[in-house]
Structure 1
Amino acid sequence: MQSERGSNAHTDSSVARARHAIRWAYQNGQWVEADGLSLLLDDLAITHAVTAVERIRAYDGALFRLQDHLHRWQRTTSVLRLSSLPGREQLSSLIDQTIQKNAPWIEQQSGFGVLLVGSPGATPNGNQNGSTLIIDLYPIDEASMQRRIGDGTPIVVTDVMQPDPHCWPRDIKVRCRLHYYLADLAARQSDPAALGVLIDTDRSITETSLANIVIVEGGTLVSPPAGRILRGISLQVVKELADDLGIPWQEDVISTDRLKAAGEILLTGTSCGVWFANRVDGKATKDHRPIYQALRTAFDRII
């Protein structure tokens, strides 16, 4: 009887492993289980938060706007002077290998994306030891994304300011995100589901931790000036769709009052492309969202 129980336990364990495929990640030339990814404590990603990052969403197994993401990645790594990282062609090949190696894991997900992380690496005895590169996959809960698309997300304007662009350009994507964290922390004091909106030095609004912001005024889409925000890939896609639909677009400084008076407030980001704000500082936005609906339909068509 003990032998049978031991045999069944072994079989059950094998079945459990089969049910939960391992997710493999690439780190500096090696394949490791994603749960085992680690950085040395003297990696500059930890000591100085010097970390390039890129998230690339897949739709129906195909990466969305991969080349645009790689272009931004190159811009970011160039600013951070991560010169020893693979070039675009080699990086694209490594991403393909990561996806292929994770085919069993991908089959078990409702959706997935690719995560790129780069840093200058560790600096033992003050000498740089070569850049760190991680390529990992992350799961996407499609049901949650559909709820976000259908129901929207509340936003709260905070007193947290974007770092001055003289510190680092706002169009690069980095993991130094303390300002985003603090903005969300402040927003959730009044609305636990809200994203915090960061402000600029003139107290105009900029963006949230997850999304760029676009408002609708009299049938025109208005976004903050490009130099004041992250260059969102989804933001650019929505702009292209607006052009195709003949919807005017302009860049302008957006005050808090202007935000609250907008006919619609759109949010754009990698997680689900384009969705909307359903509340601003606790006040519900308008239910009628014709421009959002037109852009959402157009976005769904291209994905």
Structure 2
Amino acid sequence: MLGVRAISPIVDRVHETRLAYQNGHWVSAAHLRVSIADPAVTQGVSAVERIRAYRGKLFQVETHLQRWKQSTEVLRVAKLPNRDELLSLIDQTLQKNRAWIAGNENFGVLLLASPGVQGKATFVIDLYAIDEQLIQRRTTSGMPLVVTDVMQPDPSCWPRNIKVRSRLHYYLADQFAQDQDPDAIGVLLDNDGTITETSIANVLIVENGCLVSPFIERILFGVSMQAVVKIAADLKLDWLQEPISPERMSRADEVLLTGSSCGIWFANRIDGQATPSNRPVYQSLRKGFDQLIGKSR
């Protein structure tokens, strides 16, 4: 598990309530608190990382931790645990929550940090449950997308390759999308009118068997997308980075989504119009992803 011990099968009934780590203390997750004076509240300054577990093992831990380091450095959140300390704390979080994990086979690890107050950063490690029925529905039936008029903040505001909780633009895009279709998520635009990503997923299209994505410096190049690109290379599928207009996306052979919740899934509708039902590239990539995480289909 890349530095994190395997979770013991022993169930500790004493701690069925989920325990979280905050600034040197283990507390009930229900008691996690952020000060109203913390820049996380006053200015939305907080780094976040969500590390998905598959079959009890955390996925691509080192890649997540590299992005975590980059995000916290950009936000200048200081005095956080170093890599080895962080791995140890994640391990302790898993061990202390064996009972909770036994009842939530599908879960992830959440890291959150903000500048805090009086020079002391707020730092949290928690676990979160994943809705298996939702994942199954998305990976087998897909989900709708709606192209919005909400734009990504320009990279001159903050780098798009850091993962932060300043997500008002994503929230507004999803509100716009769900006004059109309650099951949809919104696709945000770049300043040239081309697509970027959604609040929970990167977007790739398939044209004549070739994968096409926006330029990775214009998006949050997600950990799952990186894994999918490697799988595509193993399958001898070409991958191009090009601007993608909404019209081009609507004409694509397939529209794929990648993100921590499902790994890879697909769009079944774009702005209310059904996408093609034949998805050979998705099926191949899904099979490769399942093999990567050790799951047979």
- The TM-score range, normalised by the shorter chain, is over 0.9
**Across the two proteins, how many residue pairs are aligned to each other?**
282
- Residue 168 of structure 1 corresponds to 158
Match of 1:252 among 224, 242, 253: 242
- Residue 218 of structure 2 corresponds to 228
Match of 2:86 among 79, 91, 109: 91
* Matching of residues 116-195 of structure 1 within 5 Å: 116-122=111-117, 128-195=118-185
Q: Which runs of 4+ in 1 moved over 4 A?
A: none
Please report how far the alpha carbon of residue 109 of structure 1 lies from its aligned counterpart in structure 2 after TM superposition. Answer: 1.0
1:200 to 2:195 alignment: no
Letter in 1 for 2:152: Q
Please report how far the alpha carbon of residue 83 of structure 1 lies from its aligned counterpart in structure 2 after TM superposition. Answer: 2.2
Conserved 8 A contact 2:56-2:105 = no
Deviations 1:184-211 (A, max 9, x none): 0000111010010000111100000000
Q: CA separation in 1, counterparts of 2:182 and 2:44?
A: 27
- Residue 42 of structure 1 corresponds to 37
1:242 to 2:237 alignment: no
* Matching of residues 283-294 of structure 1 within 5 Å: 283-294=273-284
1:25 to 2:25 alignment: no
Give unmatched runs, 5+ long, in structure 2: 1-12
Deviations 1:27-59 (A, max 9, x none): 000000001101110011001110000000001
Conserved 8 A contact 1:110-1:141 = no
Letter in 2 for 1:149: T
> What is the root-mean-square deviation in Å for CA atoms of aligned residues?
1.3
Please report how far the alpha carbon of residue 19 of structure 1 lies from its aligned counterpart in structure 2 after TM superposition. Answer: 10
Question: Partner of 2:79: helix, strand, or coil?
Answer: coil
- Residue 75 of structure 2 corresponds to 80
Please report how far the alpha carbon of residue 299 of structure 1 lies from its aligned counterpart in structure 2 after TM superposition. Answer: 0.3
Conserved 8 A contact 1:116-1:136 = yes
Normalising by structure 2, we get a TM-score of 0.93
Q: CA separation in 2, counterparts of 1:27 and 1:166?
A: 32
Conserved 8 A contact 1:45-1:51 = yes
Match of 2:208 among 218, 240, 253: 218
* Matching of residues 252-271 of structure 1 within 5 Å: 252-271=242-261
Q: CA separation in 2, counterparts of 1:40 and 1:212?
A: 32
Give unmatched runs, 5+ long, in structure 1: 1-17, 123-127
Q: CA separation in 2, counterparts of 1:300 and 1:153?
A: 19
Q: CA separation in 1, counterparts of 2:128 and 2:113?
A: 16
Identity between Structure 1 and Structure 2 (%) = 58
Query: Do the aligned partners of residues 30 and 20 (structure 1) sit closer, same or farther apart at CA in structure 2, a change above 3 Å counting?
Result: closer
Letter in 1 for 2:74: V
Letter in 2 for 1:213: V
Query: Do the aligned partners of residues 19 and 230 (structure 1) sit closer, same or farther apart at CA in structure 2, a change above 3 Å counting?
Result: same
Q: CA separation in 2, counterparts of 1:231 and 1:130?
A: 30
Conserved 8 A contact 2:150-2:173 = yes
Structure with higher Rg: it is 1
1:275 to 2:270 alignment: no
